[in-house]
Structures are given as structure tokens and as C-alpha cells.
Structure 1
């Protein structure tokens, strides 16, 4: 019998510092025993201090990258990160409809960097909801992104308000919604999953570390990896959250750059 990889295609921006974007996605896939494929949507100049510049890739280039991979390699899951514009969202939505089979699609609603740099203009939000929400198996906004996508005001600080926001996002077209609670002020990070008309809550104590660059990219990529391996959505989220916490803890004491350093994605392999 021939052995096959579990493959995941990520469409996202490149982060030369290695903490987020395509680089974080590929590391996460590898750490979780999956084979990473990539379509680069933008080049960024960034480091641990923040994003210095963004250079979008043309829609034609993205389409050519995508079709070269999809025409040759079976894809078990898709992760979508930074897209950067309404035009790119439209192109990616069209490309996803060309995929053979129905692999799970995890949409990380990247609206800004962890340092606060805007990565998607406000006028692109309706396009994101109209074009990509209906194609996605799961969307993974954080609390600030949830507020922007639902026109609800921060803080979303109670379980009731977060569940109401998840329902609004589902009504906007998302099949399942994971609202990440890492931006909350509590000692615990509580993430809310709305899936199959049920709410699942995942709570863990926050890890005190400055090395948090790329946490959103990593969590969505880990969910994609576990779903590619056949886990249910709720199990994939639980296992991905455990992996993220372990990667945060393993990288907590490293010194890397002058700002917010990366997680230790490959902690399982380093001895």
C-alpha cells in the first residue's frame, strides 16, 4: 500500500520573522504530523516589534499558485489567513469552489496584526462575510474581530454576550464559529464554539509570556490539522487549544527579538 500525507493548504501572508502567517502555519502542520502546502497572498516586512510594510501579491499570481497545487495534489483541509483586500477575498472564494471534494475550510478572520496594524480595510468586511463565510467550515475571530464583524461593542465580557455574537456570525453565513477569548481581561482564556446549534466552552489559565506572536495563526492551523486527521470540530478545537497552550508554555522563557516573540511550535521535537 502507498502511504499518503495528510495535506493542508494555507492561503496567507508571509512573515519573515517566522512567528505568524505562512511560516507559523507550516510549522504547526509539521508539528501535528501533516504536510503543509502554501499560497502566499502578501509579503510583509515585520519583526517582533510589528508590521513595517505590506506588499500584496497579485490576484493572478495567487490563482496560479492555487491551481498549480490543486491540479496535482489532494488537499485534506484548507486554512485561510491574511487576504488583505476585497478583491483578494473574491478571487480566493472563486478558487475554493474549484477544489475537488469538500475539505474542511478554516477561516482565520485576520483583520489586524497582534501589534495593531490593519490588515483588511473596513469596506472589505461585507465581502468577507458574503463570499467566504458560506464556504467555511469554521471561522475563528478573536474578541476585537468579533466586535467589528457583528457591530457589537466591546467588551464582550459575559458568556451571554459572546454566545449572542457567535449566533450573529452564524446568521451571517458561517457554519460554525469559534470566538477566541484571549483578549479578555480575566485570568482564564475562554473560547466559545458554536457548532451544530450547540455551544462548547474551552477554558484554560492564561500563560504569562511576552512570546505570543502568531497565536491566532497557530490555533487556526492546529484546528485545520486535527480536522484533516479526521477529528470532529469540537475535538479538533479542544486538541488545538491544548497544543497552543503547550507551545506558549514551551516558548515562554525564550528571548527572541525586542518585542513579542514567537511560540515554540516544534516543542515536541526539540530535546
Structure 2
């Protein structure tokens, strides 16, 4: 018998421009020595300038894709990205419950694109909280998403407010919460992890670049990859943040399209 791959299943939308979604997840997972599996929830028409259209796949297709993989291949971690509807959320929730090995599940609470396109209808937000928060090992909202998910009138701006939002999301059902601080002003990016009753803060210098398309997808799939490889939560987040920062730094030197370009997920191999 040969060696076994460490696998990460990513459940998300497709981004034909390659910067975000399934494509970013797959590149990240591969770059971090894991094998990428995928279930596609939607096909988006987008480029570096924004999202032009979204076609959600039928729920029956999700069942077929997921079970074809799970019936044959062991899944060591799951990353969830764009879902798009209440029906898809409920389908993913049911499918996750079919996995007998209980792999870590990283839920990137994607509510909209960086360009402002809504990717999850408002009425589906409570469904996501009810159906997927209890199944998630970790959720990874950014500051604006944390405000929407907690009902805050504006994104938390202080360390105390961010920690309070993390606790609220934990009380809403999520085992652990990582609130990403990339939307803050200033030259530092600080992320707050609440896990096992403790707060962990991760800081890095902001990279001056327009090429930020898919940063959230990259971080969450990197966390999934490190957890699939056996890292504990805090260490997985630390390593994933370091990888994402280096991918941003490397991608800053490239030009793709006329808008916000992608990170360089494969910088280690260039």
C-alpha cells in the first residue's frame, strides 16, 4: 500500500477568475501538502472587478457530489464557503451529519463579496446560524460579518467589542470563533480567536497591495489544511495567518486584470 493523502473537502462556489472560492481553496490546500476535494454550490461569473452573475446548483447536485466523494474517500477536514441559499445550507448540514469520522469543519461565514455583491440572502442567515454553527469547529467572520451575525449596528472597533462579539457568536452555537481584523484602519491586521474559553490575538503587518481578492477563502482553507494535518486550533490559525500573509506579500508583485487581483497561493513553488 502507498502513502495516504491528507484530504480537505471544500464546499463553496466556483470563481472562474481563480482568485476566490473553490479555486483559491484548492490552490491553498495543495500548497499546504494536502489533497483538495470539492463540492460546488454555485457557479459565479466574476473577475477582478466584481461579480456579474450567480447560478446556484440544484440541491440534488450537492447530494450527488458529496456522497460520491464520501463513499470512496476519507475526509480529514471540511471548509465551507459560499452557500447561497437556505436550501443549500440545510442540505450541507444534513450531509455533514453523515460523516462518521467527525472531521474538523471550518465555516467561512460568507455573506457578500468584497465588491459588495450579496452572496447569502438575509433570510438565510438565521438558517446558517441554526444549522451550521453547531456543526462548525470554527467560524471565521470578518468584522462586518460579525456585526450582521450578532445584530450589532456597526462592526466592533475595539478589542473589548471584538471579544464581546466572539463570545456572542460562541453562545449562538459555534464552538470556536475567529474574527478577522483586515477591515480595521491602520497598518496592523489583528485577528481574535475565542476557543475553549480563552482569547488569542494574532497580529501581522498589513501588506500594501490591491491584490486581496480571495483573502478570506485562503485563510479559512489554510486553517482547514493545518487542522487536517493534526495541528491544534491556535497553532493552525497561527500558521494559516502566516501563510496568507506571505501569499498576499508575494501576490503584490503581480498584475492580473484591471481590479483587485488574487494572492499568490503557490509562492512557495516559484
TM class by smaller structure: over 0.9
1:241 is aligned to 241
| Segments of 4+ moved more than 6 angstroms | none
Q: In the alignment, does 2:197 pair up with 1:217?
A: no
Contact 2:15 2:45 in 1 (8 A): yes
Instruction: Tell me the CA shift for residue 153 of structure 1.
Output: 2.5
1:15 is aligned to 15
Q: Give distance in 2, aligned partners of 1:202 and 1:101.
A: 30
2:110 is aligned to 110
Q: Give distance in 1, aligned partners of 2:199 and 2:99.
A: 30
Instruction: Tell me the CA shift for residue 186 of structure 1.
Output: 2.4
1:65 is aligned to 65
Q: Give distance in 2, aligned partners of 1:154 and 1:255.
A: 34
Per-residue CA distance 1:176-234 (angstroms, 9 max, x = gap):
00000001112211000000000000011100000000000000000000000000000
Per-residue CA distance 1:72-119 (angstroms, 9 max, x = gap):
000000000000001100010000000121100000000001111000
Unmatched runs of 5 consecutive residues or more in structure 2: none
2:123 is aligned to 123
1:93 is aligned to 93
Aligned residue pairs total 270
RMSD (Å), alpha carbons = 0.6
1:264 is aligned to 264
Q: Give distance in 1, aligned partners of 2:186 and 2:79.
A: 29
What's the TM-score, normalizing by structure 1?
Answer: 0.99
2:171 is aligned to 171
What's the TM-score, normalizing by structure 2?
Answer: 0.99
2:191 is aligned to 191
1:80 is aligned to 80
Q: Give distance in 1, aligned partners of 2:155 and 2:229.
A: 35
1:49 is aligned to 49
Q: In the alignment, does 2:69 pair up with 1:37?
A: no
Instruction: Tell me the CA shift for residue 172 of structure 1.
Output: 0.2
Cα pair distance change 1:155/1:173, threshold 3 Å = closer
Q: Give distance in 2, aligned partners of 1:207 and 1:109.
A: 23
Q: Give distance in 2, aligned partners of 1:243 and 1:257.
A: 24
Q: Give distance in 2, aligned partners of 1:81 and 1:157.
A: 25
Q: Give distance in 1, aligned partners of 2:154 and 2:189.
A: 16
Question: SS at 1:22's partner residue?
Answer: helix
